[in-house]
Every structure is written in C-alpha cells, then in structure tokens.
Amino acid sequence: MANVAVIGAQWGDEGKGKIVDWLAERADVVVRFQGGHNAGHTLVVGDKVYKLSLLPSGIVRGTPSVIGNGVVLDPWHLKSEIEKLRGQGVDVTPDTLKIADTCTLILPLHGELDGLREDASGTGKIGTTRRGIGPAYEDKVGRRAIRVCDLAHLDDLGPQLDRLTAHHDALRAGFGVAPIDRAALLDQLREIAGFVLPYAQPVWRMLHEARARGRRILFEGAQGVLLDIDHGTYPFVTSSNTVAGTAAAGTGLGPNAVGFVLGIAKAYTTRVGSGPFPTEQDNEIGERLGTRGHEFGTVTGRKRRCGWFDSVLVRQSAAVSGITGIALTKIDVLDGLDEVSICTGYRLGDQVLDYYPSNASDQKSVEPIYETMAGWQESTAGARSWAELPAQAIKYIRRIEELIQCPVALVSTSPEREDTILVRDPFAD
C-alpha cells in the first residue's frame, strides 16, 4: 500500500484541491511540505465551498492534518483561516492539526518587503502573491528566521532578532522605509504565540509513527513543478522546491516514504503572474478557455493567462519529479471546440527542441510546434467512465499520455468529487 504525493505538473492551479480532497478521504494523515498561504485550494463538498491557502485539505473532512517543516507559516493568517473554517462548521483542534515546530514564520515585514520589491521592479516584476513567501524563505536560508518553536522562548530571541533586524533594516533603508520596531514585533509575536503553540510539535515523530503503523500518508504539494525554484521558469517561480522530492525533506520522512507520485495537469495550460508561457493564447481561444474554466486566482483574484496543453513541459515535469501517473483535470473546458492543439516541441532559431531550455531569454524565444486534431462537440462534463467520453476526447487523452510518456491515472470532468474517471488507484499501488 503506497503513500501518495500530489503535486502540480504545470504552473499551479491544476485543480489539486478536488483530487487531494478525494484522496484525503481515504488517507490517514494529510501533510503539506512546502509553500505557504500563496497556495489556493478550492474544495467543493456538497453545497459548500471551502477555500484553503495554508491548511492541508484533509482538515475539512476531519482527517488528521500536518503542516510540515518545509512550509513557511504566517501565524496571523493561520488564525484567520482556522476561524473562517470554524465559521463554516469545520472543527480544527490540536488533535486534527499539527504544525512542525521547525516551520519558518512569515512575519509582517516579509509581506511588506515582497510588495516593496515588486513595486520597485518595473518590467522585472515576478507577479508574486505579495504574501512574503520569498522573503521568509530567504531568511530561513540566511539563518535569521524566527521559527514556530521560538514562540515558546520569545525572551531568548535577542541574538536572532539582531541578525534579522540588521539585515532587514539595511534593506528597508534602501527603500526609504522606517526600521523594524522590535518591541512592536515582539508584542505581536507574544500575542499570537498562545494561538499557535498548542498545535506545534516535532511532527516528524508522529509521521514516523504513522508510517511504522502502516497508516496511509498523503503528501499535499502546492503550486506546480514549473514554479519550482530549481526546475521552473526561473526567475518567474516561487521560492520553494515544488517537486515531489520535497515531500521527504519538507516533512522529516525519507524519500522511500513517498510512494506514488500523482502529478496534476489541466487538459490545457494556465499561468498567473509574469514569465514565459510558450502556448499562451492571447486571443479568442484563450478568452474562451478562461471563461469556461473560471480561470481567476483563488488567492489574488487575478485573471489567469490561458493556452494549449504543452506536452514538452508536462513531460519535463514528470521526469524531474518522478511522476508515476497523471490526473488530467478540466477536460470539459475543451468541449465544443472545432479543433484542439497540443504543443509537441519547440523551435529555437534553426534548432528543434524536445525539452524546455534553461535560460530565461531562450524560454521566452521558443516557438511552439503544434499538433492539431479535431475537437468534440459532445459534453464531457460529469463523465464518470471512459464509455461516457466522446471518442475524440479519448483520442486527445491517449495522445497526451503518449507525448508525456506517463500514464493517466485519473480524469476529472467537473469540480464535483464524484465526477472522476479512475484508471489506476494511487493508494492501491
């Protein structure tokens, strides 16, 4: 019986929320391992819609949920997300939610810096969520972060605060912003500590115990492989490793604990924020995909850029992340098109490439090579078996499988959790 890691195989927003919710019901523990409240997972359960940014998706159904050490945690956001869920009737307690005491904290100064940098970057804007994710990870790697476990020892934080403020005050001076008010920061931390600490513990211990007892662990990734700090479209990426390998380092379990890697990919492509996007359709097709697919960001409300499925990128994501099977989502958004196209390679000058080059200017210059096939007029919305899919839609899915060199394990045909075609059960592997 495998554990399962769910990761995005494109630029995020692939519809992970629904798939994770579906798997979470059968998992014993759901654990997040990277990112922070930049993620946006929408869960539709019955007639209720839950929007999560930081909490693992298992929380909605009462599955024990863990925030692993690889996550950067904004404690004030944590409080407001928990309170909002409570308002929707979901109980969140230290029994159902455990937070790694080694998580790096996102402080108000991180969000501020994120915004200041974006505003000062002109055409070099990354288009971040402005939630302080990048600056918090920088402080973690710079060894000046304040972590969850420090909330229990705020009076001992002197040297760490010296390092933090020395670094940030220099940056802030450059932006013409007042230095950090240490006393005010400590007061804020003192106030929130009582809320966070009951959830905090060395979660690697309970995860090891869960594993030893044969419990099923679901690792819930955020963002997508193309936003990975190493493997993504650098510098237009997030600040964490989003590949499946992080499921181990970001939780305190070894790589052999990960098991089945389920990559989520939309039947087309979207991206929010700046950066290269070879198959982008800045035209009627893109508008149609955006409208039918309701392509607006969960976190920032920004309109997502839309384009054709890019098999080169998804094949690359599958390779660098060790994806075992793909969950193909939102196939119904393509219903009614006369023709559908898939990118199968790139032209760069007089070269033809079967991979995405690493350099930002090459990434911007490549021209996609398309394969175009007839679309389908019938509806795929709500299909729960292959027999309910039009022949052309099946042909499209099979061609994608061939091109990405990875089997499709699930097909999702609507936001409803039951509207799913199961080809291979990740937990049964």
Query: Considering beta carbons, is residue 127 or 322 the nearer one to ligand IMP?
Result: 127
Answer yes or no: are the C-beta atoms of 100 and 89 closer than 8 Å. no
Answer yes or no: are the C-beta atoms of 40 and 273 closer than 8 Å. no
Answer yes or no: are the C-beta atoms of 236 and 123 closer than 8 Å. no
Query: Considering beta carbons, is residue 131 or 144 the nearer one to ligand IMP?
Result: 131
Closest residue to ligand IMP, based on beta-carbon distance: 273
∠ CA 38-44-47, nearest 5°, is: 140
Query: Considering beta carbons, is residue 64 or 278 the nearer one to ligand IMP?
Result: 278
Give me the catalytic one of 21, 28, 37, 41. 41
Using CA atoms, how far apart are residues 63 and 57, in angstroms rounded to an integer? 9
The least CB distance from residue 40 to ligand IMP, in Å, is 5
Using CA atoms, how far apart are residues 45 and 62, in angstroms rounded to an integer? 13
110 catalytic per annotation: no
Answer yes or no: are the C-beta atoms of 138 and 77 closer than 8 Å. no
Query: Considering beta carbons, is residue 37 or 168 the nearer one to ligand IMP?
Result: 37
Q: Which two tokens stand for residue 84?
A: 């909002």
Query: Considering beta carbons, is residue 115 or 345 the nearer one to ligand IMP?
Result: 115
Query: Considering beta carbons, is residue 17 or 259 the nearer one to ligand IMP?
Result: 17
Using CA atoms, how far apart are residues 219 and 221, in angstroms rounded to an integer? 6
List of residues 6+ apart from 256 with CB closer than 8 A: none
Query: Considering beta carbons, is residue 3 or 238 the nearer one to ligand IMP?
Result: 238
Binding site for ligand IMP (CB under 6 A): 11-13, 38-40, 126-129, 131, 133-134, 222-223, 227, 236, 238-239, 272-273
Structure-token match 């450059």, residue found: 174
Beta strands in 196-338 (DSSP E): 200-201, 217-220, 260-266, 269-271, 305-307, 309-310, 325-329
Query: Considering beta carbons, is residue 224 or 259 the nearer one to ligand IMP?
Result: 224
41 catalytic per annotation: yes
The least CB distance from residue 14 to ligand IMP, in Å, is 9
The least CB distance from residue 274 to ligand IMP, in Å, is 6
Answer yes or no: are the C-beta atoms of 321 and 263 closer than 8 Å. yes
Q: Using the 8-state DSSP alphabet, how is residue 278 labeled?
A: T
Angle (deg, nearest 10), helices 108-120 and 158-175: 20
Answer yes or no: are the C-beta atoms of 39 and 295 closer than 8 Å. no
The least CB distance from residue 126 to ligand IMP, in Å, is 5
* Contacts within 8 Å (CB) and 24+ apart, 345-353: 345/312, 345/369, 346/278, 346/312, 353/312
Q: Among residues 366, 268, 267, 265, which one has the least CA distance to residue 316?
A: 265
The least CB distance from residue 187 to ligand IMP, in Å, is 27
Structure-token match 């991979």, residue found: 355
Q: How far is CA 283 from the centre of its chain?
A: 27
Q: How far is CA 277 from the centre of its chain?
A: 18
List of residues 6+ apart from 163 with CB closer than 8 A: 143, 144
The least CB distance from residue 106 to ligand IMP, in Å, is 11
The least CB distance from residue 388 to ligand IMP, in Å, is 30
The least CB distance from residue 278 to ligand IMP, in Å, is 16
Catalytic site positions? 13, 41
